[in-house]
Amino acid sequence: MSATRHRTVRLRHLAAPLFAAGLILGTATPGSAGGRPTPTIVDTARGHGTVVSYTFDDGPNPVDTPRLLAVLKAHRVRAVFCVQGNHAREYPALVRRIVAEGHVLCNHSLQHDDLGTATPEQIRADLLATNAAIRAAVPRAHIPYFRAPYGSWGETPTVAAGLGMQPLGWRLAISDWEPPGTDELVRRLMDGITSGAVVLMHDGGGDRSQTVEAVERTIPLLRAQGYRFTLPEHR
């Protein structure tokens, strides 16, 4: 798919070990207190003031995901990893590492198919298969979010909420799937960030070294502007 087509489709459409253990056992809920997931697509970081949430799609992959995890750990930032089921099957140790280092899981479909025109039954089967693939790596893993591939939602928000997952959108996508160079990614993020934004980036789907470098550079820049890194809302 060309960069232009990919962009069009997408627009359309560390914590302590005890906390990580809570995520594995499903006893720690990263969202706001109380309430069940709803079909409302959330795109806002939790908390007041200058807050931001970093989220990463299409992984894990064995090259860039470990590098990204090391960067997040060094800067003590928790993020959401929107995992594809087929990649969870390929790299279960990386899924375990994501959870062990205190990050939060998100269902990103089994193999990144466009679910926008799928029936509720087809969507449910895909999401359940993805959760099963994730939980084969991390038994009883807590998976509080779902993000539709390409942002093509269709009936997925209602189905995801019924399965206990909050649909997760974004306010800022820096188009790192192109990729345009680290300096440009840094510029797009710093120019486009707004208070409360959920930021969409990628740790899979290709060479994401530029994304990892941009994350490493922007965390201290945003903190210097008073930003705090939080998780997305969870209704």
The residues that are catalytic are 57, 202
The tokens describing 12, both together, are: 């359309």
The three state secondary structure string of 138-164 is: CCCCCCCEECCHHHCCCCHHHHHHHCC
Determine the angle formed by the axes of helices 209-224 and 64-75, rounding to 10 degrees.
10
Cα angle vertex 102, ends 232, 228, to 5°?
45
Q: How far apart are CA 142 and CA 164, in angstroms?
A: 10
Q: Give which of 196, 156, 152, 193 is closest to 172, Cα–Cα.
A: 193
Alpha helices in 42-176 (DSSP H): 64-75, 85-90, 92-100, 120-137, 156-162
In angstroms, how far is the first alpha carbon of the chain from the final one? 35
Q: Residues 11, 152: contact at Cβ < 8 Å?
A: no
The tokens describing 107, both together, are: 């269902």
